[in-house]
């Protein structure tokens, strides 16, 4: 059963510019170490970084909370299967919300071009 849905789109240039200005500090604020390593394994990491930023905003919309005190950037992580398929790992606040909503998982799909990155998240119930 679908309990929630969220979507987000972002200009890659916006993330590129925050990364250029604030460097690792910006990355560490919004991403987990595994997400950072994955994105930085590309010569041009901005679209990958932007997609993960969009993923977190989309997840926060699926929960209906936005990103804030209930659900922080580090409460959500985007993992990657060997096939390339992304999956959501929830930590602390994210796990709490998942239980509170009676949900089983958050499903995610990402897309990016050189210009835009976008994500759709679905809160999946039993």
Ligand X SMILES: CC(C)(COP(=O)(O)OP(=O)(O)OC[C@H]1O[C@@H](n2cnc3c(N)ncnc32)[C@H](O)[C@@H]1OP(=O)(O)O)[C@@H](O)C(=O)NCCC(=O)NCCS
Residue 36, interface with ligand X (CB under 6 A)? Answer: no
Distance from first CA to last CA of the chain, Å, rounded? 6
Closest CA to 91 of 107, 74, 111, 103: 74
Residue 118, interface with ligand X (CB under 6 A)? Answer: no
Residue 9 CB, nearest distance to ligand X (Å)?
7
Of the candidate residues 36, 40, 64, 105, the single one contacting ligand X (CB under 6 A):
64
Stretch that binds ligand X, among 54-62, 77-85, 90-98, 99-107 (CB under 6 A): 54-62
Question: Does the annotation count 61 as an active-site position?
Answer: yes
d(CA 30, CA 9): 16
Dig out the tokens for 17 from the structure: 């510019």
Question: Does the annotation count 112 as an active-site position?
Answer: yes
Closest CA to 104 of 24, 25, 18, 2: 2
The residues that are catalytic are: 61, 112
Give the residues lining the site for ligand X (CB under 6 A). Answer: 6, 8, 30, 57, 60-61, 64-68
């Amino acid at each position: 059963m679908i309990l929630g849905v969220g979507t987000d789109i972002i200009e890659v240039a916006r993330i590129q510019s925050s990364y250029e200005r604030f460097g690792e500090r910006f990355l560490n604020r919004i991403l987990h170490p595994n997400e950072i390593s994955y994105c930085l394994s590309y010569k041009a990491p901005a679209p990958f970084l932007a997609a993960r930023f969009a993923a977190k905003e989309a997840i926060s919309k699926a929960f209906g909370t936005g990103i804030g005190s209930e659900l922080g950037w580090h409460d959500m992580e985007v993992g990657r299967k060997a096939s390339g398929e992304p999956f959501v790992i929830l930590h602390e606040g994210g796990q709490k919300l998942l239980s509170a909503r009676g949900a089983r998982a958050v499903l995610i799909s990402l897309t990016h071009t050189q210009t835009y990155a976008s994500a759709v998240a679905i809160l999946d119930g039993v």
